Amino acid sequence: MKAAVLVFPGSNCDRDIAVALERVTGRAPAMIWHKETALPAGLDLVVLPGGFSFGDYLRCGAMAARSPIIPAVRDHAARGGRVLGVCNGFQILCETGLLPGALLRNAGLKFICQETPLVVSNANTPFTAAYGGERETVIPIAHADGRYTADENTLNRLEGEGRIVFRYQGEAPNGSMRGIAGIISDDGAVMGMMPHPERACDPSLRRMGGWGVFQSLLDAA
């Protein structure tokens, strides 16, 4: 699988994602600075990592969504290429319109960093197929603006089309509507999730809850 990781000013999980991708695929991804205007040829996957792009000024992800590289990401997704946004990357994807809804300040108005039990709501996607019959996993979260919000029509459409792929078990720690932790686009090419799978895919740490995301993408490629 040929992958690329975007790098914005303030990204702090780009190297973590790169390490996870190399661990799973055996191949280091390309690291693409946000001011580039083109992606490498033949990519299977583009990842928008977590962090605090542009210091979260204006709105989380709003400035990054207007970076020169974003039109190339749009074109990649339009061709059916996979796009994964994690945490700040999810916020950016919502700001670009590649995913619906928005990520607002956590209900408790505090930064949350903790291991988080999740439900795999849809294991029939290129991002989750490796979970198979495993319907529960644990992946850490670390965010202050992770409360997924959308209008009722959008929420109903996401539910009806099976586009909610991860939910928080029990009460959402950030107050996300309908417990949403991750969604995919209507064509299944783009996924955004607030939990950090790259922080839970190292056998030596005995934290493997996020491995299924990367294995699924490798299998799909």
| Interval 175-199: pLDDT, tens | 999 999 999 999 999 999 999 999 9
> What average pLDDT does the segment 122-143 reach?
96
Contact 43, 32 (CB under 8 A): no
Residue 219 has pLDDT above 90, yes or no: yes
Rounded Cα–Cα distance for residues 87 and 195 (Å) = 6
Which residue numbers are catalytic? 87, 196, 198
**C-beta neighbour count of 207 within 10 angstroms:** 16
Residue pLDDT, tens place only, 196-210 = 999 999 988 889 999
Question: Which of 3.40.50.920, 3.30.360.10, 3.40.50.880, 3.90.1150.10 would CATH assign to domain 3-220?
Answer: 3.40.50.880
Q: Where are the domains of the chain?
A: 3-220
Contact 39, 32 (CB under 8 A): yes
pLDDT recorded at residue 205: 85
Query: Distance of alpha carbon 208 from its chain centroid, rounded?
Result: 17
> What average pLDDT does the segment 9-23 reach?
96
Looking from the CA of 200 toward its CB, the CA atoms found within 13 Å total 20
Three-state secondary structure of the chain:
CCEEEEECCCECCHHHHHHHHHHHHCCCCEEEECCCCCCCCCCCEEEECCECHHHHCCCCCCCHHHCCCHHHHHHHHHCCCEEEEECHHHHHHHHHCCCCCEEECCCCCCCEEEEEEEEECCCCCCCCHHHCCCCEEEEEEEECCCEEECCHHHHHHHHHCCCEEEEECCCCCCCCHHHEEEEECCCCCEEEECCCHHHCCEHHHCECCCHHHHHHHHHHC
Residue 133 has pLDDT above 90, yes or no: no
Residue pLDDT, tens place only, 48-84 = 999 999 999 889 999 999 999 999 999 999 999 999 9
Average pLDDT, the chain: 97
pLDDT recorded at residue 35: 98
